[in-house]
Amino acid sequence: MAEAVKAAAARQLPAFKLGKKQVFLIYRPNHVITMLRKEHLPPNEACFKVPLRFTKFDLRDYLWNLYGVEVTTVRSYVKQQPLTQRSTSSRSWYRPQPHKIMTVELAKPFQWPDAPADLEPWSNDLWRMREETIERRNEEQLARQRMQIPLKSQQPLPKEREQLGELAKKMLSGEVKWENNVVLDPKWDRILGREKAGKSTETTTTS
């Protein structure tokens, strides 16, 4: 590969001065460079997330030697990260390492490929359902931590209670008659003598 790279360099050199250090011989560089999609950038610019120690010259030579991409200008900034909790249970907070973002101007313009239209291979529906569930649970927990426990009266009614309410409405309107098919003790006849007489007639009609 070294011969191939040398041959390529001899064939066509970039407009800038290349570095001469043999990095693989000494350092075995294992940096991970991430290309970022930035909608606001024109096609002749590309954005990368690089390790914090990277310099502009590093990225310029890296892109040339590894990808054969010629770069005219490099701009860089370090993006501070927000304070983060170590875990939800602990009260320990820390500031994560910042990201270094570099924007390069390309000699040849580049257009990002379109996002896939069909998200079925990624099980998008299932994933979205899971995300929603997680978010709802997190919100509930946050509300509980803030002692914002909703009152029983403000919570939505459970299904059984709704069914019970509907049944009660039907009974009040006379649509459904109450009946538990229990034979009462004869001593109750004296207490609800008249009503029992009426009821017995009704039950006979219904049954």
Partner 1 sequence: MSMAAAPSALRASSGCASRLGSSLRNGSRSNLFLAATPSMRAAASFSTTAPQCKRKTKDGNKRRGVSSLYGSGPREPLSVSNAPLPKPVEFKPKIEVDESHGLWGFFPAPGKLLLTPKETEEHGRAWTVEELRRKSWEDLHALWWKCCKERNMLSTAREELLRGKFGFGEREIGARDEEVTKTMRAIKHALTERFYTWQDAVEVAKSDPEINLEAGEGQVYTPSAYEEGYDEIAAEEGASRSTDGEPKETLR
List residues near partner 1 by CB under 8 A.
Answer: 1-3, 24, 28-37, 42-43, 46, 49, 63, 66-69, 106, 108-116, 119, 121-124, 126-128
- Class of residue 41 by CB neighbours under 10 A (exposed 0-12, middle 13-18, buried 19+): middle
| Nearest distance from C-beta of residue 106 to partner 1, angstroms | 8
Nearer to partner 1, 51 or 196 (CB): 51
**In terms of CB distance, is 127 or 188 closer to partner 1?**
127
Cβ(100)–Cβ(50) under 8 Å? Answer: yes
CB of 4 to partner 1, least distance (A): 8
Q: How far is CA 76 from CA 4, 18, 155, in A?
A: 31, 19, 51
Least distance in angstroms from the C-beta of 122 to partner 1? 3
Identify the three-state secondary structure at position 92. Answer: coil
Pick from 29, 48, 38, 156: nearest CA to 102: 48
Nearer to partner 1, 57 or 112 (CB): 112
In whole angstroms, the minimum distance from the beta carbon of 94 to partner 1 comes to 22
